[in-house]
Amino acid sequence: MSPLSSPQRSAVPALLVTILLWAYSWIVMKQVLAHAGPFDFAALRYLLGASVLFAALLGRHRCCRPS
């Protein structure tokens, strides 16, 4: 069996981080829903997601307009 190539080797830690974040999000969701309603939580989640995506676009110096 051949050793893992570089992209495969870097994919394993990324997959593990994704699994940990996804599992931890359940705990966070249960805690937040104890203090806020589901619509408030959904609005905050989408706002946070959009902020992260726009920050990533600005960090890569890409335009936000469709081409």
And the tokens for 23? 């599992």
| Rg value, the chain, Cα | 17
The whole-angstrom separation of Cα 16 and Cα 14 is: 5
- CB atoms under 10 Å from CB of 60, counted, come to 7
Average pLDDT, integer, range 2-30: 84
Instruction: Return the pLDDT at 15.
Output: 92
pTM for this structure?
0.57
Range of the domain at 25: 1-35
Same domain, 24 and 2: yes
pLDDT averaged over every residue in the chain: 85
Q: Give the chain's domain count.
A: 2
Same domain, 26 and 42: no
Same domain, 9 and 25: yes
Q: Tokens 């870097």 sit at which residue?
A: 10
Instruction: Return the pLDDT at 58.
Output: 86
> Please, which pLDDT band fits residue 64 given cuts at 50, 70 and 90?
low
